[in-house]
A and B are shown apart, each in its own frame.
Chain A
Amino acid sequence: MWIYKKKLEYPVNIKNKDLRMARYILTQYGGPAGELSAAWQYLNQRYTMPDEKGKALLTDIGTEELAHVEIISTMLYQLMNGATVEELEAAGLGPSYAQFGVDLFPSDSFGNPFTMAYIKTAGDPIANIESDMAAEQRARATYEHLMDMTNDPDILGPLSFLRQREIIHYQRFKELRNYYLEMQTKNS
């Protein structure tokens, strides 16, 4: 089961509305390298990991990704809070307003809805973990692209924190992958 903590993993307090950045950051909510995709990829893979290390790591990183979904959603909410219909339309968010009003909806920056087809699972622990490593690298690259497009410290702080988490997650997945490879060599 999961327990809710009524706080963010990293605080988000964005003072300036920014619909342009909201549209770009949206991909980290419901896009192919987004937090929702990462969370579900790991939590879905954990059941069949070959040992306790793998089950623990995928459970814990998957859980942290859920906290990152909340950070990204919070950023989107604050970046769009108080926008008028005209402002939303001018920022290219008219179609979003037509369908969802001011609600959030998980999609990529182009508006393609989130799909579970993004998540990878292959019935093989090495293939699974290497797809997790790739997911972390793609997310890191996306955070760098997003950081390239703003100088607002209120936006850069959380983006930088989230990017750094991808680096740590990548490292731990790599250690797990290498450990499994060693085990395979030993046992063959």
Chain B
Amino acid sequence: MYSYQDRNLNYYNNMNFNQPYYTEDANPASLYDPYQGFIRGNMFPDLYNWYKFEQPMDLTVKSEKDQMLIYLDALSFATIDINLYLDIYPNDRDMISLFNQYRMEADRVRSEYENKYGPILVDSDASNTYPWAWDNRPWPWENQ
């Protein structure tokens, strides 16, 4: 049942929108690992703010293909989130090195996935096939 009071209480309890922002010399020391960050939608534990369910949902893995794609999704996600942080704090050396660590691992996993299941990027080695592999199913919006 919708209760305005409960909702506001929950809102204020959860609220960390006004916490001080990072400064150049106050690096966020420990991030979630890519999978834990990915299922939360947030790599930064001190910015995590849940709603409705406290425990983030694990993703269902039905096959080796799923597992590999989720691992790739998690690594790509880590680079996306760290990228946004670095746009604001371009002198954070540790974070640049973490970005590159996840970027290289993501590249490796993507190539491995593409060699098995077809291209994710059209200009990948997995496009050097006959017949043309790009227009093979599934498209991202199709239910697996």
Contacts and interface: CB of A to CB of B under 8 A. Distances in A.
Interface of A: 3-15, 53, 56-57, 60-61, 64, 70, 73-74, 77-78, 81, 143-144, 147-148, 153, 156-157, 160-165, 167-172, 174-176, 178-179
A60 B57 contact: no
Contacts of A4: 121-122
Interface in B19-37: 21-22
| Interface secondary structure of B, over-half rule | loop
Interface in B79-103: 80-81, 83-85, 87-88, 90
Interface string B12-50: 000001000110000000000000001111101001111
A53 B87 contact: yes
27 contacts: A3-B121, A6-B122, A6-B140, A8-B73, A10-B77, A11-B59, A53-B88, A56-B87, A57-B84, A60-B83, A64-B84, A74-B140, A78-B143, A81-B143, A143-B51, A144-B51, A156-B53, A157-B59, A160-B52, A160-B53, A160-B57, A161-B40, A162-B41, A163-B41, A163-B51, A167-B47, A174-B21
Nearest to B16: A167
Nearest to A141: B11
| Interface secondary structure of A, over-half rule | helix
Nearest to B21: A175
A4 B17 CA distance: 33
A164 B81 CA distance: 11
B30 to A, nearest CB: 17
